[in-house]
Structure 1
Amino acid sequence: MAQAVITRRDGDVFQARMFWLHAARLLDPESNVLRVGFESGLKGFDDIWIEYDPDKAPPDHVGQALRFERMQCKWHALPGSFTHVDLTSPEYINATTTSLLKRALDAHRHDGANDQVSKLILVTNHGVAAEDILKRHIRQRSLNLDVNQLFDGSTPRSARGKLRKLWAEHLGIDEDELKQLCGRLGFHLTRDSLDGLRELLDQACRANGLIRPASNASTTPYDANIFEWVGHQRTEYTRESFRDQCAQEGLLASKPVNPVYTFGVKTFEHALDRLDNRCVEVLDLVPEFDERSIRNTDAWRDSLLPRVREFLLRLPTREGRIRLAIEAHVTLAFAVGVVLDTKSGRLVELEQRSPVLKIWAADDEPLSSLHSTWVFEEHELDSEGQGTACAVSVTRDTEGAVRHYLGQSGLKLRRLLVARPSAGVSAQSVASGAHANALAEQLAKRVRADRDARPCSRLERYHLFIAAPNAFTFYLGRQVAMLKPLSLYEFDFGYQVDNSYEPSLAYPEVATVPPEV
C-alpha cells in the first residue's frame, strides 16, 4: 500500500512539473504560447495541453503550423517498457473501457473537425520494448511515428501489417484514417528522473521570473499547488490569468530577474526539453538530418560549418561569458569548440546532462588528484600505414567499433591510440566543466608529444572517434591547433546505415594536407 501511495504521488509530481515547464512560458511576452491547460479539455489527452499563437506556431514534423499539443502523462516507479499492443488496452492507462488509442482517435477527430493541427503525445518514463515493431518507427528527430515506413504497402502478415491490422480493427477504422491518426501521435519517452525535471523547472523559473525551488528542500511549491487550483476549477490559463494566479500565490520573484541568456545549437530534439522553449535563439540544423543520419555528407563542410560559424560569432557575451546548449552530434560539438577556440576571448558555459542538467564551465571547480586523467594504450595496425586512429572512450568503449570500422573501410593507418579515463568508462567519468577542459588539454598535449617524439609524423593525420559528453568534445575542439591535421567520424547510433562510423569533418580538408612523410 505504501509503495502504491508513493507511486501515485510521484506520478502527480511528474505531471505537475511537466505543466510548469510549459506554463512558465506564459510569463514570457515573446513566447508563442497563448494558453495552457491542466486536467481539462479533451478526455484522454487532458493531463496537459498547450495552445500556440497561430502567427508564431512551431512547425510540426511535416511543416504544418502546430496549434495544439495534447499530453497524456504516465509515470512509472520502476524501469520497464510498453508495446504497441498496450496502446489498445484500457488497463495500460488505468481505464476500464477506453484505450489510449481510442482517446487519441477522438481527439484527432475533434481537432480535424475544427481545422486545428494538433499533436497527441504520450509522455512517459518508459520506453518501447526493444523487440516491439513500434520501436523502429518512432523518429528521434520529431518524436513522431514514421508513417511512410509504417504504411509502406507491406502485407498483413508482415510485422508492420500486423500492427496496422490490430490498430485499425481495434479502432474500427480503415487504413487511410489510421494513417492520418498515426501522423498526429507523438511519443516523448524520457529518461529524466524527477530530480532531472526539477533542474529543468529551476531553469524555467529563473528564465521567466518565478521563485526558484529551494535547492535543499525535498519538494517544490510547484508540485502540489496546481492540484489545489484544479479543486477550485481553475484549469485553463491565458497570459493574464496565469500571471494573476502566480502573483496571488506569491510565486513571482520579488526582485527583477537578472536573466542568463542561453543560445542553442541542435541537430535533434530532447523529449521534454526543446531548446526553442527556453533559449534566446537556436541554430536549428535538424532539417539537415534524417533522424541521426546526415542527408548529404558534403553538408558538414559546405553548409553546417559556415552556419555554425556565422551564428556563434555574432552572439553577445555577458562579461566575456556565453552560455550554450548543444543538443547535437559529436562533430558539431567539436566544431563549436573550433569556432570559440582558446583565442576567441570568450569563456563558454555549457549545459550538460549528466544525467541531471548542470552548467559546466572551465572554471566551475578547482581540480584535484581525485579527478581522473587518461590511460592510453597503443596498438600497431600496419607498419606501412600512415596516420593514427584515436579511440576516445569516455562514456562508452569505442575500441571494438573503431577496429571494426577500420577493417571494413580499408583505411590503412599506422597505429591505434585508445584513450580511457583512469576512473573507467562511464557516463559519470567526467565530473565538471573544469574536469572536461583538463582532459581535453591533456589529450591534445599527448597528441603533440607523440608528434614531437617522431618528427617524421608531424604531418600525420589523426582520425578521432569520440564517445564523450558534448562539453568534453567542445573543449577538445578548442584545442584544434594542437590536434590538426585531423578527421572526425560519426557513429550510426540508430542503425540507419550500417551501425558503424562515417567520416564527417576534417581540419584541414584532406586534399590540402601535404603528403605524410
Structure 2
Amino acid sequence: MPDLPAPGPTGVRIAGDRYQWLWAWQGCVTALRDAALRTPNPVVGVGVEADQAGNLDDVVLYRARPPHTYAQVKYTADAATPVNETYLFTPSTSGGTSLLKKITQSWQRLTADGAPVDLALISNRAPDPADPLVSLRDPRTQTLMPKAGQQGPRSAKGRARSRWAANAGTDEEQLLDLLRVLRFDIARDVSHLHEHLQLLMFAAGLRPDAAAVQAGADWVARQVINGQRTLSLAQITDAVQTLALTAGPNRAVVSIATLKPDPMADDADYAIDWADRFEGDTAYSKCRPKAPATWAQLQEEIEAAPHRLPPGTAAVAVTGSLRLAPAFLTGTAFRMVTGADLAVLQRGQLWSSTEPYDTVLAPARETHAIDAGQDLAVAIAVATDPTADVLKFLQDRQLPVSRLLVLRPPAGAKDNSIPDAATANALAIGIRDALRTASHGASRIHLFQACPMGLALLLGHRWNRLRPTVVYEHVATEDLYEAAFTVDA
C-alpha cells in the first residue's frame, strides 16, 4: 500500500466529525437494543452537541433515569499527543480553558442539583504510560480510581493530584469525586470502533456490514445538519426502517474470548474471557489452555451459557475469538432441539442457524481403515484437508477406532468452499445425516475439524442423535491434536 500524504486541516476536521457521528450512532443502536431487551434503565434518546451539557455535549446518552452519560469526543490524526497532563492541561488553541478544566466545570454544572452522572472522555489517543495518574487507568472501569487517590501528598501520585486540582480550579477532594465518574475511554481507533459497531448492530438485529454502519453514521450527520440535537427512540426506529437496516431478531449476546479480547464483552449477557488463559503470545499462536486452566473448566463455563441468559431467550449471538473445538461446543450448548436460534459473524457475513437453504448438501466421503477398535474417527475437511495429520495422530496415539471417515464439500476442501450461511447450514445437516448412518455400532466419535469457525458452531448446533463425541483441537506441537471436550449427542 503506498504511503498516504498527511491530511490537511479540513480532512482532519471531517475525520473528527465522522468519528463523533459513529459514536452517536453506537448510542442509537444501544437504545434499540435496550428497548428490545427491556433493560432496567434503558437509553431512551441520544444527544449530539446537546444543550445544557457544557463541554461534555458531543454525545449524550439519555436514560430513563439518571445517570445519563455525557461524553467529550476528541479525535486526532496521529499519535503525537497521548493523553497525559500536557494534553489535559494545555489551553485551547485560542488561549482558552484547558480540557481538564472544561470537563470539571461541566461536571459541576451537571451535578449542581445532586443528580448522578456518568462522564467519558472518548478519544483515539493512547494513554501515556509514563503519566503518574493516566497510567493508573483501570481497563475494566476505564477510570483512574481508586489508584489515583492512593498514597500521600509527597508521593508522585500526590504531587500529580495537586497539579490536576490546580489546573481544574478545584480542591483534591472534589478532583477525586470527579475521577470516580470520569471514564477515560481512550485508544479507541476508528477500526476498533467500526468492529464494535458491527458486532453491536449484529446483536441488535441490524445489518452488520460496512455499508450499514456508514448509513447509520450518515443519518446522524443529517440530523445534526438539520438542527436535531436529540434523537429519540422513535426517530431511531423510523430511521432503521427507512434505511432498510433490519436483518433479524434482537439477540442475547454470548461473548467467548479465547484468542484475544472481545469488543462486545461489556455489552454481552454472558461473557467468558479466556484470552489470558490460553498458551501463546499472540492470537494466532493460542491453541490450548495454559496450566492450571483446563479444557474441562472451559467446557463447564461454555455449557453454563444457556442458563446465564434472560429467561425465554431464543435468539443468541455468539461473539469473540474461538478456535474450532470451543466453537463446536458452543453450538452443542445451544442445540437446535432446544429451540435456540444461533448466529455468528463469519467474515462480515451473518450466519444464522435459521438461514433457509434449498436442499441438504451431502458431503463427499473417503474412508481409511484403521482396525484398532470400535470407535469412529471423523475429519471435517472443508477449509483445508487434515487427513494426513489425523491419520498420523490416530496411529501415534493408538486410539481405538475402526476407521477414519473424511467428509468434504462436494467440490473439495478449499478456503472459500462455504460462501454463505445457507450453504453452511445445508452442509452441516448433510454431515450430521451422513454420520447418523456411519456411526451405527460405534462406541464413540472422535471429531477433527478443519473448517470455518461458523460452520463448527452450526455443526455443533445440530449435533443430535449421534454417539458421544470427543472433540479435538489442533495444537502447535508435535502431538498435532489434543482432546478438548467430550459431549453427549
Question: How does the TM-score come out when normalised to structure 1?
Answer: 0.54
Shift of 1:199: 4.7
Deviation at 1:155, TM superposition (A): 7.5
Deviations 1:175-227 (A, max 9, x none): 4333222211113342443865885797699759xxx9966999964153133
Per-residue deviation, 1:80: 6.2
Aligned to 1:53: 64
Amino acid at match of 2:188: T
Residues 185 and 308 of structure 1, relative CA distance in 2, 3 Å threshold: same
Matches within 5 A, 1:65-144: 67-78=67-78, 82-90=82-90, 96-129=95-128, 137-142=136-141, 144=142
Aligned-pair identity in percent equals 18
CA–CA separation in structure 2 for the residues paired with 1:90 and 1:324: 44
- Kindly provide the CA deviation profile for residues 21-79 of structure 1, in whole angstroms up to 9, marking residues without a partner as x: 3246667585622443221332221111122112xxxxxxxxxxx51101111223345
Alpha-carbon distance, 1:359 to partner: 2.0
1:340 matched residue in structure 2: 334
Give the direction of change, closer, same or farther, for the CA distance of 1:68–1:311 in structure 2 (3 Å limit): closer
Given that 2:30 and 2:43 are in contact with CA atoms closer than 8 Å, whether structure 1 keeps it comes out as yes
Name the structure 2 match of 1:409: none
Is 1:42 equivalent to 2:64 in the alignment? no
1:285–1:304 contact (8 Å) kept in structure 2? no
Mark the CA change 1:228 to 1:204 in structure 2 (over 3 Å): closer, same or farther. Answer: farther
Q: Distance in 1 between matches of 2:212 and 2:239?
A: 16
Deviation of 1:97 after TM superposition, in Å, equals 2.7
Q: 2: distance between equivalents of 1:101 and 1:293?
A: 38
Unaligned runs of 5+ in 2: 1-5, 279-292, 362-381, 400-412, 430-443, 474-483
List per-residue Cα deviations over 1:427-481 (Å, max 9, x = no partner). x9x997799999999xxxxxxxxxxxxxxxx99999x9xxx99757746866999
- 1:264 is aligned to 252
> How many pairs are equivalent?
402
Which of 8, 13, 18 matches 1:3?
A: 8
The aligned runs of 1:65-464 (5 Å cut-off) are 67-78=67-78, 82-90=82-90, 96-129=95-128, 137-142=136-141, 144-145=142-143, 147-153=145-151, 156-158=154-156, 160-161=157-158, 163-188=160-185, 189-193=187-191, 199=198, 221-222=218-219, 224-230=221-227, 234-239=228-233, 243=235, 251=239, 253=241, 260-266=248-254, 284-285=269-270, 305-309=303-307, 311=309, 314-316=312-314, 322-327=315-320, 335-340=329-334, 348-351=342-345, 358-361=349-352, 373=384
Q: Distance in 1 between matches of 2:120 and 2:132?
A: 19
- The gaps in structure 1 that reach 5 residues or longer are 55-65, 277-281, 317-321, 388-420, 442-457, 489-504, 509-517
Match of 2:241, SS?
coil
Q: Which amino acid aligns with 2:173?
A: D
- Structure 1 residues 117 and 77: alpha-carbon distance in aligned structure 2, compared to 1, 3 A threshold: same
Distance in 1 (CA, whole Å) between partners of 2:445 and 2:244 is 55
Q: Which amino acid aligns with 1:176?
A: E
Instruction: Supply the RMSD in Å over aligned alpha carbons.
Output: 6.2
**Equivalent position amino acid for 1:261 in 2:** P
- What is the identity, as a one-letter code, of the residue corresponding to 2:98? S
The residue identity in structure 1 corresponding to 2:146 is N
Tell me the distance in 2 between the aligned counterparts of 1:469 and 1:183. Answer: 44
Q: Relative to 1, partners in 2 of residues 1:217 and 1:338: Cα closer, same or farther, differing over 3 Å?
A: closer
Residue type of the alignment partner of 1:190: R
- Give the AA of the match of 1:4: P
Change beyond 3 A, Cα 1:120–1:475: same
Does the Cα contact within 8 Å between 1:309 and 1:339 map onto a contact in 2? no
Counterpart of 1:501 in structure 2 is: none
Equivalent residue, structure 1, for 2:364 = none
Whole-angstrom distance in 2 between the partners of 1:115 and 1:437? 55
In the alignment, the residues of structure 1 paired with residue 274 and residue 174 of structure 2 have an alpha-carbon distance, to the nearest angstrom, of 25
Give the direction of change, closer, same or farther, for the CA distance of 1:258–1:173 in structure 2 (3 Å limit).
closer
Partner of 1:97: helix, strand, or coil?
coil
Q: Distance in 1 between matches of 2:322 and 2:105?
A: 38
CA contact (8 A) 1:90 1:97 kept: no
Alignment-mate amino acid for residue 324 of structure 1: A
Give the superposition deviation at 1:17: 3.0
Distance 1:302 1:215, change over 3 A: closer
**Residue 77 of structure 2 aligns to a residue in which SS?**
coil
Change in CA separation of 1:104 and 1:67 when aligned onto 2, cut-off 3 Å = same
Matched AA of 2:84: H
C-alpha displacement of 1:148: 2.5
Residues 372/474 of structure 1: CA separation in 2 closer, same or farther (3 Å cut): closer
Q: Work out the CA distance in 2 between the residues paired with 1:472 and 1:135.
A: 43
Question: Structure 2 vs 1, CA of residues 87 and 180 (structure 1 numbering), >3 Å: closer, same or farther?
Answer: farther
Give, as a single letter, the amino acid of the residue that structure 2 aligns with 1:38. Answer: V
Name the SS of the counterpart of 1:123 in structure 2.
strand
Q: TM-score, normalised by structure 2?
A: 0.57
Asked whether the equivalents of residues 34 and 51 of structure 1 are also in contact (C-alpha less than 8 Å), the reply is yes
How many Å separate the matches in 2 of 1:165 and 1:358?
A: 51
